[in-house]
């Protein structure tokens, strides 16, 4: 058992999962969040657990595609034009990472991370007090065009090389998996090893379980600065003027982590990838299997009786604005694939938004600060933060309690750019 005392800044999925594994090791844990642990990026996401997502976002073809998308106001990708040094540097490192060599290095690692995380969620789901809709029904990626079909065939080939089951299906094969759905597609790829869960339930149940285990929660408190003595953080300063003395700190503050680290004189490259989701209640006709509409980059996930639809990635500098055009783009794409899926949303239907913490190379930051010996960082999981939450929590808890991490953390180091 460990006697470490840790303050976690940020109670999203990374912060809560880390608290879960630290508590199991016997540590004293306090979680601080500027919100009240009821909403945020870790709640309204598409809930997919994705060993199928072993290819990082920065790939050789993505830059040309991204530039085309920038010209379309309903497309799934947008960069808010602005002269910002952090954005320019991020884009430069993204460009440098978008090469075959880097992708080859990343693929087996991303797969292992996701696979291990899925197994950890499976164990968590079986524990008393948890019932968050974890199901292993796989993932369908549907495509309409010949060009996309070629990309998916290439993806399936890469998956097979890594030993991942990926089934290329024609219309009849898809109909066998989704007999109730009327599809207008050329084909699809089915990853039977993927899973999904209801993130809002997972987050709520983790908070309850952690409180029961004695984890302290400080809500509505924003950390604005640190006191540093020698090479250690000694105090966290809050927006209300109070101070919190600390022994060890984990920064798992999602898309805001870079801003906090900057206060301590350390730089990581991180941009927020804003996305939207809509949750339709008690839907009747809907896919049984979580689906990605490949050309549209839209995710559709059955969650209990509800159906969640999510998409877009906007690098917009943490802007609060909801782009109705892009939300419309998400909704309008659905009947082009699932003809009988009714997705008409009423004016009052809430549009949820979240900020994916994106690194230039698609690998998370999991490790220790270079400058501060008692400061750990867990962020940068981009579009896979939910999927990788459990394994990240486990890895950071192993690091903090002085155990040998279950995976090599070299590719996740903070100073790799």
Contacting positions for ligand FAD (CB under 6 A): 9-15, 32-35, 40-42, 45-48, 222-223, 252-254, 256, 260, 275-277, 299, 310, 354, 356-357, 379, 381-387
> 188 vs 389, which CB is nearer to ligand FAD?
389
> 76 vs 187, which CB is nearer to ligand FAD?
76
Say how far apart CA 109 and CA 230 lie, in whole Å: 35
Q: Residue 209 CB, nearest distance to ligand FAD (Å)? A: 17
Cβ pair 57, 106 in contact under 8 A: no
> 27 vs 383, which CB is nearer to ligand FAD?
383
> 13 vs 396, which CB is nearer to ligand FAD?
13
Q: Residue 56 CB, nearest distance to ligand FAD (Å)? A: 14
Say how far apart CA 243 and CA 175 lie, in whole Å: 59
> 149 vs 223, which CB is nearer to ligand FAD?
223
Say how far apart CA 170 and CA 158 lie, in whole Å: 19
Q: Residue 233 CB, nearest distance to ligand FAD (Å)? A: 14
Q: Residue 9 CB, nearest distance to ligand FAD (Å)? A: 5
Positive or negative: CA dihedral 283, 287, 290, 292: negative
Say how far apart CA 413 and CA 363 lie, in whole Å: 9
For residue 253, give Cα distances in angstroms to 237, 250, 258, 272, 381.
15, 9, 9, 12, 12
Q: Residue 34 CB, nearest distance to ligand FAD (Å)? A: 4
Q: Residue 99 CB, nearest distance to ligand FAD (Å)? A: 24
Provide the terminal-to-terminal Cα distance of the chain, rounded to the nearest Å.
36
Q: Residue 249 CB, nearest distance to ligand FAD (Å)? A: 11
Cα Rg of the chain (Å, integer):
21
For residue 397, give Cα distances in angstroms to 8, 59, 94.
12, 31, 29
Q: Residue 18 CB, nearest distance to ligand FAD (Å)? A: 9
> 149 vs 378, which CB is nearer to ligand FAD?
378
Cβ pair 332, 180 in contact under 8 A: no
> 46 vs 166, which CB is nearer to ligand FAD?
46
> 42 vs 149, which CB is nearer to ligand FAD?
42
Cβ pair 8, 21 in contact under 8 A: no
How many CA atoms within 13 Å lie on the side-chain side of 321? 10
Positive or negative: CA dihedral 395, 198, 118, 130: positive
């Amino acid at each position: 058992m460990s006697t470490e005392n840790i303050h976690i800044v940020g109670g999203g999925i990374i912060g809560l999962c880390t608290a879960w594994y630290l508590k199991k090791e016997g540590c004293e844990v306090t979680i601080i969040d500027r919100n009240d642990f009821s909403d945020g990026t870790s709640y309204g996401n598409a809930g997919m657990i994705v060993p199928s997502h072993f290819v990082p976002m920065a790939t050789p073809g993505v830059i040309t595609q991204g530039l085309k998308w920038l010209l379309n106001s309903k497309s799934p990708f947008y960069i808010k034009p602005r002269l910002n040094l952090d954005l320019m540097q991020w884009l430069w490192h993204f460009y440098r990472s978008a090469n075959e060599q880097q992708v080859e290095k990343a693929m087996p690692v991303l797969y292992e991370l996701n696979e291990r995380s899925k197994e950890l969620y499976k164990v968590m789901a079986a524990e008393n007090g948890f019932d968050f809709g974890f199901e292993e029904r796989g993932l369908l990626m549907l495509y309409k065009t010949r060009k996309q079909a070629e990309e998916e065939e290439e993806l399936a080939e890469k998956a097979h090389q890594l030993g991942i089951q990926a089934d290329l299906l024609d219309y009849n094969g898809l109909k066998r998996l989704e007999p109730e759905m009327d599809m207008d597609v050329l084909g699809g790829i089915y990853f039977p090893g993927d899973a999904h869960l209801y993130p809002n339930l997972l987050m709520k149940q983790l908070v309850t379980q952690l409180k029961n285990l004695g984890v302290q929660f400080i809500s509505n408190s924003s950390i604005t600065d640190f006191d540093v003595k020698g090479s250690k953080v000694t105090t966290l300063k809050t927006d209300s003027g109070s101070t919190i003395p600390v022994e060890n700190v984990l920064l798992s503050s999602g898309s805001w982590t870079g801003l906090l680290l900057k206060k301590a004189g350390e730089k990581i490259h991180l941009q927020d990838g804003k996305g939207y989701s809509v949750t339709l209640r008690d839907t009747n006709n809907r896919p049984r299997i979580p689906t990605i509409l490949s050309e549209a980059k839209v995710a559709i996930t059955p969650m209990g009786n509800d159906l969640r639809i999510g998409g877009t990635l906007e690098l917009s500098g943490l802007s609060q604005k909801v782009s109705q055009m892009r939300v419309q783009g998400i909704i309008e794409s659905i009947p082009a694939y699932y003809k009988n899926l009714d997705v008409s949303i009423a004016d009052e239907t809430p549009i949820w938004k979240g900020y994916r913490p994106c690194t230039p190379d698609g690998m998370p930051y999991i490790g220790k600060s270079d400058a501060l010996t008692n400061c750990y960082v867990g962020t940068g999981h981009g579009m896979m933060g939910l999927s990788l939450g459990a394994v990240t929590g486990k890895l950071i808890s192993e690091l903090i309690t002085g155990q040998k991490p279950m995976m090599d953390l070299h590719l996740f180091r903070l100073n790799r750019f």
